[in-house]
């Protein structure tokens, strides 16, 4: 699947992943009204609004981008109905030819981690049959519990040709509370980066590993170091746009081959219509606003990479 992701990136010439992290306040009024008219102000109504909103955006941007990253929390908050729309969104995006990174940040141990891996990336056995319950292509994974938590994911990645992105240095202000702690004179995220490279060596694609890493755009200096520590690791970079990361901050996340990183933007794309720069599209044109925001992001990154 890492090879598929890279093929998609090369084809679109856009190392971009759109974060499908819907919040009710992003959804145009006409979509919400129609959903509530059909299902009432219920969890199902909210889920339906999210679904229609997602579909509009995906239809508008799918030819421009290699991948999407739905954040499951934004669906899970609407309960079982929300989780059903997460599933439906994954399926729809794959049908559109997109690689789907499930931003689930799961992490547990042994048979429990295996259950998450099977549920999100693999197939679960029921009697004599088997099913792929959520069937994302990649999942994000939390490494706080160590190898016991990661190995079951790696096993499923190998069996099913899927991939993971392990949290190494996250984009948020407080990520340093744990991740920057100095261990034998080096920050924990560096040690984690080395560990990710080791895990990754067990499941290589053609040029990069199926075990990637999450490193926030908001920490460009750390990104530079981690790029060196993990040369064959794809880096998923959140924090561009709304969280403050800029095109120029991103260059060090890439390798000299122009690959090795994929930049996420969530509300910068999906809620573009609410920003001044795209206000001209209006509420009804929210999907076109998202398309324009993708084009602008692509140019911003291309410009930064060209001038490095």
Residues between 52 and 111 with contacts to its own copies, criterion CB under 8 A: 71, 73-74, 76-80, 82-84, 87, 105-111
Q: Which is nearer to its own copies, 127 or 306 (CB)?
A: 127
Among 95, 97, 183, 246, binds its own copies (CB under 8 A): 183
Q: Between 80 and 279, whose beta carbon lies closer to its own copies?
A: 80
In sequence order, the β-bridge partners of residue 139 are 102, 164
97: left (phi over 0), alpha (psi -120 to 50) or beta: left
Instruction: Work out how close the CB of 129 gets to its own copies at its nearest, in angstroms, rounded to a whole number.
Output: 5
Q: Which of 10, 30, 146, 246 binds its own copies (CB under 8 A)?
A: 146
Active-site residue among 88, 94, 105, 161?
A: 105
CA distances 172 to 26, 237, 267, Å, are 21, 12, 15
Q: Does residue 217 contact residue 243 with C-beta atoms inside 8 Å?
A: yes
Question: Is 275 near its own copies (CB under 8 A)?
Answer: no
Nearer to its own copies, 78 or 278 (CB): 78
CB-based contact 156:118 (threshold 8 Å): yes
145 near its own copies, rule: CB under 8 A: yes
185 binds its own copies (CB under 8 A): no
Please confirm, yes or no, whether 105 is among the known catalytic residues.
yes
- What is the Cα–Cα distance from 31 to 262, expressed in whole angstroms? 30
Identity of the residue, 175 or 233, whose beta carbon is nearer to its own copies in the bound complex: 175
Report if residue 264 touches its own copies, rule: CB under 8 A: no
Does the footprint of its own copies cover residue 127 (CB under 8 A)? Answer: yes
d(CA 290, CA 295) in angstroms, rounded, equals 9
The nearer residue to its own copies, 108 or 296, going by C-beta atoms, is: 108
Among 124, 204, 277, 279, binds its own copies (CB under 8 A): 124
14 to 53, contacts with its own copies by CB under 8 A? 21, 23-24, 32, 36, 41-43, 45-46
What's the closest the beta carbon of residue 281 comes to its own copies, in angstroms?
24
State how far the Cα of 193 lies from the Cα of 185, in Å rounded to an integer.
15
Instruction: Considering the complex, state which of residue 98 and residue 156 has its C-beta at the smaller distance from its own copies.
Output: 156
End-to-end C-alpha distance for the chain, whole angstroms? 29
Among 29, 37, 125, 257, the residue binding its own copies under the rule CB under 8 A is 125
DSSP string covering 195-220: HHHHHHHTSB-SSSBSEEEEE-TT-H
Q: How far is the CB of 34 from its own copies (least distance, A)?
A: 13
- How far apart (Å, rounded) are the C-alpha atoms in residues 123 and 115? 10
Q: Which of 104, 98, 99 is nearest to 86 (CA)?
A: 104
- DSSP category for residue 71: B
Site for its own copies in 215-244 (CB under 8 A): none
Strand, helix or coil for residue 66: coil
- As annotated, the active-site residues are 105
């Amino acid at each position: 699947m890492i090879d598929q992701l890279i093929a998609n990136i090369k084809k679109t010439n856009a190392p971009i992943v759109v974060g499908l992290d819907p919040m009710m306040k992003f959804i145009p009024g006409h979509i919400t009204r129609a959903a509530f008219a059909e299902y009432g102000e219920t969890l199902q109504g909210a889920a339906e609004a999210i679904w229609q909103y997602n579909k509009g955006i995906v239809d508008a941007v799918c030819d421009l981008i290699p991948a999407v990253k739905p954040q499951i929390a934004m669906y899970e908050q609407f309960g079982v109905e929300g989780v059903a729309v997460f599933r439906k969104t994954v399926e729809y995006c794959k049908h559109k030819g997109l690689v789907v990174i499930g931003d689930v940040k799961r992490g547990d141990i042994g048979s429990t981690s295996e259950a998450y891996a099977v549920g999100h990336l693999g197939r679960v056995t029921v009697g004599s049959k088997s099913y792929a319950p959520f069937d994302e292509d990649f999942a994000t994974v939390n490494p706080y519990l160590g190898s016991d938590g990661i190995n079951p994911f790696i096993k499923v990645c190998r069996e099913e040709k899927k991939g993971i992105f392990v949290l190494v240095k996250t984009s948020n202000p407080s990520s340093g509370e744990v991740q920057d702690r100095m261990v034998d004179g080096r920050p924990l995220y560096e040690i984690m980066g080395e560990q990710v490279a080791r895990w990754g060596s067990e499941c290589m694609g053609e040029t990069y590993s199926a075990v990637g890493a999450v490193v926030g755009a908001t920490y460009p200096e750390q990104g530079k170091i981690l790029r060196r520590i993990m040369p064959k690791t794809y880096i998923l970079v959140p924090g561009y746009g709304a969280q403050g990361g800029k095109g120029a901050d991103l260059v060090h996340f890439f390798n000299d081959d122009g690959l090795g990183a994929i930049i996420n933007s969530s509300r910068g794309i999906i809620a573009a219509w609410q920003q001044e720069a795209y206000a001209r599209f209006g509420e009804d044109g929210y999907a076109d606003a998202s398309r324009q925001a993708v084009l602008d992001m692509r140019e911003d990154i291309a410009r930064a990479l060209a001038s490095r």
